[in-house]
Amino acid sequence: MNEFQGQVFEAGGGEPLRRKPGRLLPWDRWPVLIAVLLALWLLLPGTGIWYTVPAAEQGRVYTLGAPGPIADPGLHFKLPAPIQSVRLFPHTRVDTVQVGFQTQIPARGDRQLTYTSQVDYVLTRDQNMIHVEYAVQYTYPESWKHWENIEDFSALVRGAAEAAMRATVATHTVDEVLTTQKDIVQQEAQTHLQSLLRQVDSGVQVLNVQLQSVVPPEPVRSAFAEVQNAIETRATLVNQAQAYQNAQLAEAQGKVAEILAKAEAYAAERINRARGDAARFTQLYEEYRKSPDVTRERLYNEMLQQVLPNVKEIYITDSAGVLYQLKLDDKGE
């Protein structure tokens, strides 16, 4: 066996250096360092075999650049880079794009979109121009799509929002947009914007479109104000006239109902009386057929009972033509 095996000599000769038991020389440490670095590389988030998806976000794994499964919030494993890589996307976050105005300047790194339109006015159905400011809120149920399918997402959202609002306002008159149908305009604009974003498979859901300010152009703003005041005055007068009309109609309908009720009561009374008289006449006729003389005398006496109490004087003639007068006054004279 070679007696110099396992010994290290100093440069230039001399005695060999003895290795202490359990101690590595500098060039013997490289395998350990490489193993430690490899372990760190495999275990570090984002570069190794595991990664974390934060809350309110989603991750998507890409294998050699090809899109793979969706990862929900939590701890997940993957193959080390560059075989597989992970990209995180917003999921439940709500972003806003402001068109025509800006409430605040977003901080650096903030993803909120703010946009001031270069075209200030929108054309209505009745060929009027109005200035419209509005905000659009949206979220990302399939957030990876806007990164995979769209090159400039912010330009797409603000352009689609402006196109949707212009198309919606163009179907309404200026009075409808300014006053009576703002809610309808907002709903129609939201539906139109969602349709445009769905056509390009953006993965975005529009939550609402909120009109902030709708005003006519500055040179004619005073004229529009006068027109609106006239419209409001007309509406007030129309409401007052309708209230007076309703009151008069209610009173007339009440009188008509009263007259009809009286007429129906009088008609019912007359009908009942006529039926009673007819029934009585029929009964008398039957009695008259049985005994005409008795019935005739009874009828005569009943008539006298009805007439004589109101008679003051009675004249009676006998067969000789002599006239007798009976005075029936209160004193009996």
* Per-residue pLDDT tens over the stretch 189-204: 999 999 999 998 888 8
Closest listed residue to residue 150, CA positions, set 203, 97, 206, 113: 203
* Per-residue pLDDT tens over the stretch 93-129: 888 888 877 665 555 545 544 445 555 688 899 888 8
Closest listed residue to residue 158, CA positions, set 91, 215, 206: 206
Is residue 79 over pLDDT 50?
yes
Distance CA 172, CA 227 (A): 18
pLDDT of residue 39: 64
Higher local confidence (pLDDT), 116 or 92: 92
pLDDT of residue 15: 52
Query: H or E stretch including 196?
Result: helix 182-199
Of these ranges, 79-83, 183-187, 278-282, the one predicted with the greatest mean pLDDT is: 183-187
DSSP string, 221-290: HHHHHHHHHHHHHHHHHHHHHHHHHHHHHHHHHHHHHHHHHHHHHHHHHHHHHHHHHHHHHHHHHHHHHH
Which residue ranges does the chain devote to CATH 3.30.479.30? 95-216
- CA 263, 265, 271, 273 dihedral sign is negative
Percentage of the chain with pLDDT > 70? 73
Higher local confidence (pLDDT), 19 or 239: 239
Poorest-confidence range of 161-170, 272-281, 305-314? 305-314
Considering the domain delimited by 95-216, tell me its CATH architecture: 2-Layer Sandwich (3.30)
Tell me which amino acid residue 157 is. V
pTM: 0.54
pLDDT of residue 137: 92
| Contacts for 55 with CB less than 8 Å, ≥ 6 apart | 73
Of these ranges, 37-51, 212-226, 238-252, 301-315, the one predicted with the greatest mean pLDDT is: 238-252
pLDDT of residue 109: 47
Higher local confidence (pLDDT), 147 or 229: 229
pLDDT of residue 20: 52
- DSSP assignment letter at 107: P
* Per-residue pLDDT tens over the stretch 126-140: 888 888 889 999 988
Whether the CB-CB separation of 244 and 250 falls below 8 Å is answered with no
Task: With cut-offs at 50, 70 and 90, classify the pLDDT of residue 256.
Answer: very high
